[in-house]
Amino acid sequence: MAGHLFIAQVTETTSPSDILLMALAACALGALALVVWVLPVVLGIRAAQRKGLSPHWMWFGLHPLGGWVTWAILQFGIPPRATCARCGKEAAREANFCARCGNALLVTPRRRFL
């Protein structure tokens, strides 16, 4: 009986409606698990594209916990790229001046978590 701890036993007295309810519960649980696994990958790809980074960081999402950790780092740990107010070109994170027009970029201080 130890092997059947979480599995419902279907017997001759189990009604078809009970079997249908068990199947629907299993499908709902599987769908929830899939959403919890895929959601951080989708959110992480959007965060990477928004910040001008490669979306390939989300390969860590092959493991569900890795996807959530990578999304959190991309979302909260890496500052966005600066955009030149004059010409609209995205500059490197370390740049103080635009490479195209030489305009001074607005530099915001980085937040420290520790």
Q: Kindly tell me if the per-residue pLDDT of 47 is higher than 60.
A: yes
User: Contact at 8 Å (CB) between 93 and 82?
Assistant: yes
Q: Cα separation of 79 and 50, whole Å?
A: 11
Within 13 Å, how many C-alpha atoms sit on residue 82's CB side? 20
Least confident of 26-35, 58-67, 82-91: 82-91
Band (pLDDT 50/70/90 cuts) for residue 7 is low
Q: Which amino acid is at 98?
A: C
Question: What DSSP state is assigned to residue 92?
Answer: -
Question: 69 Cβ partners below 8 Å, 6+ apart?
Answer: 60
Write the pLDDT tens digit of every residue in 26-42.
Answer: 999 999 998 999 999 99
Q: Where are the domains of the chain?
A: 8-77, 81-114
